[in-house]
Amino acid sequence: MLFPTTIAGSLPKPEWLAEPNTLWAPWKSKGDELARAKRDATMLAIKLQEDAGLDIVTEGEQARQHFVHGFLENIEGIDFAHKVEMGIRKDRYKAMVPQVVAPLRLKGRVHADEARIARTHTARKLKFTLPGPMTIIDTIADRYYGDRVKMAFAFAELLNQEAKALEADGVDVIQFDEPAFNVYMDEVGDWGIKALERAAEGLTCTTAVHICYGYGIKANTDWKQTLGNEWRQYEDIFPAIDDSPIQQVAMECRNSKVPLELLSLLKGKVVQAGVIDVASDTVETAEDVVKVIDAVSKFVPKSNIVATTNCGMAPMRREIAEAKLMALGAGAKLARQRLG
């Protein structure tokens, strides 16, 4: 089947789980009650994706407060009690971040609960997202390693342990999110891809990397204004990604200033093409989705195109995110008829 559908990863959380329409939203309950709320929200996220006709579903990242820090919470060597302010993505925005204060080690499984809940409640293919090593080290303060690369590889090793366990839980696709890849282009070639490969080492399931220009929050939309009319950052990093064994690349294509011709640098990859804009509340039509898929197909063989959202939908309003899911499913279906 052409143009299977998926989402970048996250969906908005119901207001009974966490504060709506915000990133880093505080939970509404704690202990067992919170665990039950996360479980219910995970099942709901899957149901919404199934009903929209999506083929490769995720747990909607309902059980994590943030896509990076969700992974960090079960790691020894991180001090969450004393957060410090840090500039993120070359000072694009400031955030209060935890600090690495000792050698890093997994205390146990990180995402076992939500992966198993998701696996139990859907027969569809299941994708699970993890933050990539470069993005992690750009979102945490270092008071121990004293070396970005060394710390990145320490995280890569832990990611690899969790990724292998997720694969054993029945996850079909593991996607590493690397929004830092278009900010530190030199480092991507020097060590970013290598760290990613370390994180994916030995996996037999499908592997993917999601690169992107960020959620539709103000700091990101302001930054995008400074990038000019054409965003060519990926020209520098696609050859290195193409050489890597990572199988899929997820990238925004709808309302994007990334020239789609850059996709022809990814000859051997399946492209998860973002056909739904998450920085706008305007809900796409099925026709809009077909147009983007058609444009992408000029540079990527149709059999290598997966239709997805540009980025996570965590900070969106729920009814808009749900309408966009339906548009994604309907649009891919229409594209199969028109372009198949």
Which parts of this chain interact with Zn ion (CB under 5 A)? 212, 311
224 close to 218: Cβ distance less than 8 angstroms: no
The residue ranges of DSSP E strands in the chain, in sequence order, are 56-57, 75-88, 93-106, 125-131, 141-142, 173-177, 206-210, 248-252, 270-276, 305-309
CB atoms within 10 A of CB 204: 7
**d(Cα 186, Cα 190) in Å, to the nearest integer?**
6
Residue 109 has which token pair? 């499984």
Q: How far is the CB of 210 from Zn ion (least distance, A)?
A: 6
The residue count for the chain = 340
Euclidean distance between CA atoms 173 and 246, whole angstroms: 11
Q: At what angle do helices 31-51 and 112-121 cross, to 10 degrees?
A: 40
CB of 174 or CB of 286, closer to Zn ion: 174
Give me the DSSP letters along 228-265. -S---HHHHHHHHHHHSS--EEEEE-TT--S-GGGGGG
Whole-angstrom Cα Rg for the chain: 19
Nearer to Zn ion, 212 or 313 (CB): 212
Distance CA 214, CA 236 (A): 19
In the bound state with Zn ion, the residue whose beta carbon lies nearer, of 181 and 191, is: 181
Query: To the nearest whole angstrom, how small is the minimum distance from the Cβ of residue 8 to Zn ion?
Result: 5
Closest CB 246 distance from Zn ion, rounded Å: 16
Task: Using the minimum distance from each CB to Zn ion, give the nearer residue, 13 or 119.
Answer: 13
Residue 212 or 307: the one with the smaller Cβ distance to Zn ion is: 212
Which residue's CB is nearer to Zn ion, number 57 or number 104? 57
Tell me the closest approach of the beta carbon of residue 340 to Zn ion, in angstroms.
Answer: 28
